[in-house]
Amino acid sequence: MSSRPLNVVIAAALQALIGLVIAYEGGRVLVEMAQGRGSASFSVPLAILAFGAAAAVCYVAWGLFTLQSWSRGPVVLTQIFMLIIAYSMYTSGQMAVSVGMAATAVAVLALVLSGPVTAVLFPGGRLPGEDAPGEGKSRG
């Protein structure tokens, strides 16, 4: 039996799905350019940026799945960006995309900030940079 909580598995899977969607959109930009519906000076840099972002998001998902404590911060940051983009989509009238993005972001935030995930990522209840009891510098 694995010591990995289901919350971690679901959050990592959703984070990886976000990365795959970013990669898909980068590929779609290149296909549209090849079909003559976009300029290379715009499409190629955008696709490169999308592929780099997708790789980073998927790497963070892998870090979360393998219970690396450093991964929680980037996952939270990704979801904050998702909420900002979801709001932008909402204001531009793309309600379905907006709701899907916001729901995914809120779900991942709830999962990754839950007690079981915190307990497994930060055993002993200490966050990175905190001293264990009795290990702190003496004041004097």
pLDDT of 1 above 50: no
pLDDT digits (tens, 9 = 90+) for 81-106: 999 999 999 999 999 999 999 999 99
Tally of CB atoms within 10 A around 109: 18
The pLDDT score that the predictor gives to residue 84 is 96
Burial class (CB in 10 A: 0-12, 13-18, 19+), 127: exposed
Can you tell me the distance from the alpha carbon of 73 to that of 114, in angstroms, rounded to the nearest whole number? 14
Residue 132 token pair: 């264990």
- Inform me whether the pLDDT recorded for 110 exceeds 80: yes
Q: What is the dihedral of CA 97, 100, 105, 110, to 10 degrees?
A: 160
pLDDT the model gives residue 18: 96
Domain map of the chain by residue range? 6-121
Please tell me which residue, 53 or 122, carries the higher pLDDT value.
53
Which band of pLDDT confidence, cut at 50, 70 and 90, is reported for residue 124?
confident
- Is residue 24's pLDDT more than 70? yes
